[in-house]
Structure 1
Amino acid sequence: MKIRIPATSANLGPGFDSCGIALSQYLSIEVLEIAEEWVIKHSLGTDIPNDKSNLLIQTALKIAPDLTPRVLKMTSDIPLARGLGSSSSVIVGGIELANRLGNLNLSQKDKVQIATEIEGHPDNVAPAICGDFVVASYVDGEVHSVKHHFPMCDVIAYIPDVHLLTSESRSVLPASIPYKEAVQASSIANVMIAAILNGNLPLAGVMMEKDRWHEAYRKKLVPHLDQIRNLGHTVGVYGAFLSGAGPTVLILSPEEKTEKMVQELEKLPLSAAINVLSIDKEGIQVF
């Protein structure tokens, strides 16, 4: 059995802790033979445990404590601590591992609820499970989510060669904002979502760059965001936004503008990987 979970990008600017998309980079978990102890074979670096202390196994055992240990093989092209849902993909993978090995018959709604309770918010885990574009809320312990088709475009990921932990990126956010500003922030998010549902990426991109919830506070941690937006305005892409907590920036681009935008991004002085991705429509898959 092989479990495959997509990378995700949360927020899309003003959809803070609520909106997310699934992307065409993946964590894969291959379930191999029964063993005396849990073993995870991987080449992801010494920081990632290869025993039951791994987040994958910790998550699975939280849901189904009596699972028989297995040898697992883990591969991933989702970069760590870059704002592309690397930890969320592992949590979602652990839930599916428990579901399959423990014969739990969890529904998609069950998986989203469990994953959100573990992660604390649904913006990454919901699209990792459902695929495509998901809008979700987590209020009073209950998750509500809606999946919808995301309009066709290229997704350029500008991934700096530096880690930015979510905890560090969250530490710069204010404890509260004025009521009038919150109303404005909410209206921007509402129009952004409506534009996506209408297939109007030019308008959605404009609204993505008007976020009032988090990007202004995080700009000092990601000074390249404004540089990339300025390039995007020159090239004519739809818009750019901070992916999750950063430091990755995603650029939504018409196919005919992508090559030019990548060329401009390559001129930036920051050391970074530039990947052209697409929206993953399916979410978690089991083969």
Structure 2
Amino acid sequence: MSKKWQIIVPGSTANLGPGFDSIGLSLNLYLELTVSLADQWEIIHVSDHLPQDIVIEEHLIYTIAKETAARFNKELPPCQIVMRSELPYARGLGSSAAAIVAAIELANLVCELQLTIQDKLNISSQIEGHPDNATASVLGGLTISQMNEQGIVDTIHVKDLDASFVVFIPSVELKTSEARKVLPDQLDRSYAVRASANANMLAASLISKDYERIGQYMESDLFHEPFRSSLIPNFDEILCAAKEAGAYGTALSGAGPTMISIIPNAIGDQFVFTMKNRFPTHEIILTKADHQGVSAKILNDVLT
């Protein structure tokens, strides 16, 4: 008999404006793996969002799962993995972080690593290089995080945000590595003080669930959006149209090119209808925060 597992990981948005590399929010858009032990490696993609031509040795799930097992002196056994994803690649919705978190969970299950939540936070954030998307995918909800020089993550976890979120997904990709190239190496001190104060106010507003202020400070970023906005299709138009239609606020989702609005629950359907008519070239999706984070279960015992 051989076990078969299901791993589900939420996607995420990061930054929410000035919360640069530290604030993450999980969304109810998911990456799903169905895993069983096998004689040789096989990874099957069954979603349009996933590429079809990646060799096993270069696949992110394989490389991260193998690396995670090796950290604990374990050898990863061959698996068959069926992948489904609602997360478009390189659009700012945490697709790579979700894959990293899924791969860590895969190694945890098949190698019986018995990882703690803190282990998962540390390993995923170390691999990502920053803790925003990764912590949100591990924990669910909203996370405000810091990773020290030793790679240890400290997170404040905010649950039950009473709002909806709308993502504006353009047809173009924007890799985070490319979006980082336009950022300045240094900021003037007075400019940095204002940017930091805005980030502090966003974090405080999120913790206190002051939605008007959340929207205000989402739109007050000075760390990255002023430098990236020219890379984003319809950036200014979406910002203005969303506000006119009742959004609390709008910001880049991660490094972009997707944008995200936080809106009152009551206007969700009408808001999406209005935005779809206004921006027909974008995929516009109404979402909520995911509150579970990464989850795994044994599906059944299957004959080998």
Question: Does structure 1 conserve the Cα–Cα contact (< 8 Å) formed by 2:37 and 2:77?
Answer: no
- Residue identity opposite 1:3 in structure 2: I
- Matched residue SS, 2:157: strand
Question: Does structure 2 conserve the Cα–Cα contact (< 8 Å) formed by 1:185 and 1:211?
Answer: yes
Matches within 5 A, 1:61-72: 61-65=66-70, 66-72=75-81
- Matched residue SS, 1:124: helix
Match among 26, 29, 32 for residue 22 of structure 1: 26
Match among 74, 84, 94 for residue 75 of structure 1: 84
Question: Does structure 2 conserve the Cα–Cα contact (< 8 Å) formed by 1:231 and 1:264?
Answer: no
- Matched residue SS, 2:247: coil
Which residue number corresponds to residue 302 of structure 2? Answer: none
Matches within 5 A, 1:208-219: 208-219=218-229
- Matched residue SS, 1:250: strand
- Matched residue SS, 1:276: strand
Change (3 A) 1:159 1:169: same
Change (3 A) 1:235 1:47: same
- Residue identity opposite 2:225 in structure 1: E
Deviations along 1:254-279, one digit per CA (max 9) or x if unpaired, are: 12222332233223356111110110
Match among 238, 257, 273 for residue 248 of structure 2: 238
Which residue number corresponds to residue 41 of structure 1? Answer: 44
For 1:72 and 1:240, how far apart are their aligned partners in 2?
36
Which residue number corresponds to residue 145 of structure 2? Answer: 136
Matches within 5 A, 1:136-285: 136-141=145-150, 142-269=152-279, 271-285=281-295
Question: Does structure 1 conserve the Cα–Cα contact (< 8 Å) formed by 2:45 and 2:52?
Answer: no
Match among 50, 53, 62 for residue 58 of structure 2: 53
Change (3 A) 1:48 1:249: farther
- Matched residue SS, 2:278: coil
Question: Does structure 1 conserve the Cα–Cα contact (< 8 Å) formed by 2:242 and 2:275?
Answer: no
Cα offset, 1:49, TM superposition: 2.1
Q: Quick one: percent identity of the two aligned structures?
A: 35
Deviations along 1:178-207, one digit per CA (max 9) or x if unpaired, are: 111111111111111111111111111101
Q: CA RMSD in A?
A: 1.5
Change (3 A) 1:269 1:147: closer
- Matched residue SS, 1:25: strand
For 2:53 and 2:274, how far apart are their aligned partners in 1?
34
Question: Does structure 1 conserve the Cα–Cα contact (< 8 Å) formed by 2:46 and 2:82?
Answer: no
Cα offset, 1:48, TM superposition: 5.1
Question: Does structure 2 conserve the Cα–Cα contact (< 8 Å) formed by 1:40 and 1:50?
Answer: no
For 1:21 and 1:150, how far apart are their aligned partners in 2?
11
- Residue identity opposite 2:35 in structure 1: V
Which residue number corresponds to residue 131 of structure 2? Answer: 122
- Matched residue SS, 1:266: helix
User: Please, which runs of 5 or more residues in structure 1 have no aligned partner?
Assistant: none
- Residue identity opposite 1:78 in structure 2: L
Which residue number corresponds to residue 286 of structure 1? Answer: 296
TM-score by length of 2: 0.90
TM-score by length of 1: 0.95
- Matched residue SS, 2:19: coil
Moved more, 86-95 or 47-56: 47-56
- Matched residue SS, 1:68: coil
- Matched residue SS, 2:185: coil
